[in-house]
Amino acid sequence: MASGRAAAAVRGLRTLTAALALYTRAAPLLAALRLVIVLATGLAPVATAWLTAALIDDLTAQRTGRVGTLALLLAGVGGAAALSGYVTAFVEREIGRRVSLAAQERLFAAVSRQRGLARLEDPGFHDRLRLAQQVSGAGPAALAEAALGVVQALLIVGGFTASLLTLSPLVTVLVLASTAPALAAQLTLVRKRGAMVLDTAPNLRRQTFYTLLLMDLRAAKEIRLYGLGGYFRGRMLTELRTAQRGESRVDRATLLTDGSLSLLTTGIAAAALYGVALRIAHGHGTAGDLAVLVAALAGLQGALAGVLAQIAGAGQVFTVFTHYTAILDAPADLTGTDAPPPGLRDGIRFEHVWFRYSAAGDWVLRDIDLTIGAGRSLALVGLNGAGKSTLVKLLCRLYEPTRGRVTWDGVDIRSLDPDLLRARIGAVFQDFMCYDLSAYDNIALGGLDRAAADPGAVERAATRAGVHPELAGLPAGYDTMLSLVFQDSRTPRGVPAAGRFGGVSLSGGQWQRVALARALLRSDADVLVLDEPSSGLDAEAEAEIHQRLRELRSGRTSLLISHRLGTVRDADRIVVLDGGRITEAGDHASLLAADGTYARLFRLQADGYRAAGTPGAGPREGAAPPVTAGQQPQL
């Protein structure tokens, strides 16, 4: 228990140190200026109280010698305090901007350090990331400001405690003693609020998801067609209401606590005023003493309340900020030496690889033993959910095998740097990205260095993917934004586009070719991975692309996944996956001769074409043109 508290205290101290380090490093000079202002404004109220008392006493005793000086000093302190307010507002905002920049830079550098997918798929990590992202904007500066606020308030407390002690030690003790229960109550509230923030994080994450869905252009078609607007709005509001119920519970507890504490302080102040006023009335003390008492009581209670409010306010930020530091401290999920893998000479091997996405989940790959020889083409086929894409993700080291290993020329890829390994792979994933960027950018993302070094590389990749004519014909050519959300563009090369123009959207097949061009930009990649590279293409385009891919793949190591068996028939080796196991392997002819699953699926597809081609069975008027060899309907 005690060690748990000690560990929490150490964690707390580290969190606070991290926030202060961010604050001071992001703007060292401004932070120093802020500290000077804090010290000055911390001492100003006590100075004002004593100057006022001295002035009142001199005036009531009709001592005129230093009245002018005291009045000027009083005005000077007041003026400096007022000016410091404006300077503080500016300095706080300026530091806030710089700290926010530095904090976000560090947060997303830490996120990029997680180079696999498993951690990103963990909902707990996501909740933590969302909170960290929220707090990284204003959080570190708010924490540092709270710490400075506490310093300032403690200076005021010190000054007024000394002042009050000279007037009434009993009142001083009472006022100070009343802060103990207040502090305990505030700390309890801080803990409650911290727990509430974590409890409601999943609700708020789901609420954000529904909100984004309702605003998403890509989701808009289905939402309208299926009339889902009200349904998602309802779900969004349910999540928000649940989160708000948690907040409201803590707000009620806060009101109760703060209300009771304020009654306590009012009672103490009333008793102190009553006692001292009577004493002065009976000739013990001066009117100046009363002025100091009123200022000291108000100042001390105000400052103590300020300390507590700072603790309460900062407490919530503090709890959330622990998630920020946790993400920054999280070790990288994948390790490996920095030595780049050598160019592939022998091949890639899956050695008795077993894989499941979570310890509680089913096996997705079971005892996969597979070699992709260097310079050879391998095709993976199988029904939906057989594990084909998962195998590709293991090859790219987006996940690690649960058992067994994947080797690159005999070296376990776990010992290689994931980024350097991936740099040797060009891939089109089944769920490729459509970036709301220019056409040029959409392709250049496949190799930013290459695109920058070789101005013609993007267009050549687009030509090889068969999408150059379409992109060149766009309103601003390759500089056209492929987005309906962001409409005007600056070219990726930093040159303003000629005139402003609306963004455009491509067809599904055109997007697929842009994704292919992105992969082909890595023309020197050792391995080309194509997961359903032509599912969205029309028959003519597919034939053309596959002819190009055949040329590209020849002499290159490639892994092709396709449900259209006609497109894989010329692969050097075809592997059939079923339920995560390899059930058949061989070339097209041997698999047909074996008359297993591949032969059955191939015949099923071929029969579909024959049926469409027989008189009476089609083709229908307006149907797709007759397909050429290699064009098959999907499984």
Ligand X SMILES: Nc1ncnc2c1ncn2[C@@H]1O[C@H](COP(=O)(O)OP(=O)(O)OP(=O)(O)O)[C@@H](O)[C@H]1O
Span of 149-157, 203-211, 301-309, 385-393 interacting with ligand X by CB under 6 A: 385-393
Which of residues 22, 131, 293, 364 is near ligand X by CB under 6 A?
A: 364
Query: Does the protein bind ligand X through residue 259 (CB under 6 A)?
Result: no
Query: Does the protein bind ligand X through residue 575 (CB under 6 A)?
Result: no
CA 481 to CA 86: how far, in whole Å?
44
Instruction: Give the per-residue SS3 of 54-114.
Output: HHHHHHHCCCCCCHHHHHHHHHHHHHHHHHHHHHHHHHHHHHHHHHHHHHHHHHHHHHHHC
Residues whose CB falls within 8 Å of the CB of residue 377, separated by 6 or more in sequence, listed in order: 553, 554, 556, 557, 558, 559, 560, 570, 571, 572, 573
Q: Find out whether 492 and 415 touch, Cβ atoms under 8 Å.
A: no
Query: Does the protein bind ligand X through residue 387 (CB under 6 A)?
Result: yes
Query: Does the protein bind ligand X through residue 533 (CB under 6 A)?
Result: no
CA 436 to CA 64: how far, in whole Å?
76
Span of 98-106, 254-262, 383-391, 519-527 interacting with ligand X by CB under 6 A: 383-391
Which of residues 186, 322, 377, 389 is near ligand X by CB under 6 A?
A: 389
We find the least distance from the C-beta atom of residue 578 to ligand X, in angstroms, to be 10
Q: Which is nearer to ligand X, 389 or 632 (CB)?
A: 389
Which of residues 17, 112, 430, 487 is near ligand X by CB under 6 A?
A: 430
Q: Which is nearer to ligand X, 387 or 503 (CB)?
A: 387
Place of tokens 């209670």: 301
Identify residues 57-116 at the interface with ligand X (CB under 6 A): none
User: Which token pair is 296?
Assistant: 């000291």
Which of residues 34, 128, 323, 388 is near ligand X by CB under 6 A?
A: 388
Q: Which is nearer to ligand X, 312 or 395 (CB)?
A: 395
Q: Which is nearer to ligand X, 156 or 571 (CB)?
A: 571
Q: Which is nearer to ligand X, 45 or 387 (CB)?
A: 387
Which of residues 95, 334, 348, 386 is near ligand X by CB under 6 A?
A: 386
We find the least distance from the C-beta atom of residue 560 to ligand X, in angstroms, to be 13
Span of 8-16, 79-87, 333-341, 379-387 interacting with ligand X by CB under 6 A: 379-387
CA 353 to CA 368: how far, in whole Å?
5
Query: Does the protein bind ligand X through residue 357 (CB under 6 A)?
Result: yes
Torsion-angle region of residue 596: left (phi > 0), alpha (psi -120 to 50) or beta?
Answer: beta
We find the least distance from the C-beta atom of residue 185 to ligand X, in angstroms, to be 45
CA 564 to CA 413: how far, in whole Å?
31
Span of 135-143, 303-311, 377-385, 475-483 interacting with ligand X by CB under 6 A: 377-385
Q: Which is nearer to ligand X, 266 or 430 (CB)?
A: 430
CA 336 to CA 421: how far, in whole Å?
10
Q: What angle do CA 349, 354, 360 make, to 5 degrees?
A: 155
Span of 2-10, 42-50, 205-213, 386-394 interacting with ligand X by CB under 6 A: 386-394
CA 287 to CA 303: how far, in whole Å?
24
- 415 phi and psi, to 5 degrees? -90, 0
We find the least distance from the C-beta atom of residue 559 to ligand X, in angstroms, to be 12
We find the least distance from the C-beta atom of residue 532 to ligand X, in angstroms, to be 7
User: Which token pair is 622?
Assistant: 């307006």
Span of 232-240, 313-321, 378-386, 621-629 interacting with ligand X by CB under 6 A: 378-386
We find the least distance from the C-beta atom of residue 116 to ligand X, in angstroms, to be 11
Q: How far is CA 285 from CA 48, 282, 297, 591, in A?
A: 20, 9, 17, 109
Span of 171-179, 181-189, 388-396, 465-473 interacting with ligand X by CB under 6 A: 388-396
Q: Find out whether 200 and 249 touch, Cβ atoms under 8 Å.
A: no
We find the least distance from the C-beta atom of residue 118 to ligand X, in angstroms, to be 9
Span of 301-309, 316-324, 381-389, 455-463 interacting with ligand X by CB under 6 A: 381-389
Query: Does the protein bind ligand X through residue 401 (CB under 6 A)?
Result: no
Q: What angle do CA 469, 473, 476 make, to 5 degrees?
A: 135
Query: Does the protein bind ligand X through residue 384 (CB under 6 A)?
Result: yes
Identify residues 118-137 at the interface with ligand X (CB under 6 A): 121
Q: How far is CA 378 from CA 173, 361, 570, 571, 594, in A?
A: 83, 28, 10, 6, 18
Which of residues 390, 438, 483, 510 is near ligand X by CB under 6 A?
A: 390
CA 412 to CA 348: how far, in whole Å?
10
Question: Using CB under 6 A as the criterion, which residues of the chain lie in contact with ligand X when the complex forms?
Answer: 121, 357, 364, 382, 384-390, 430
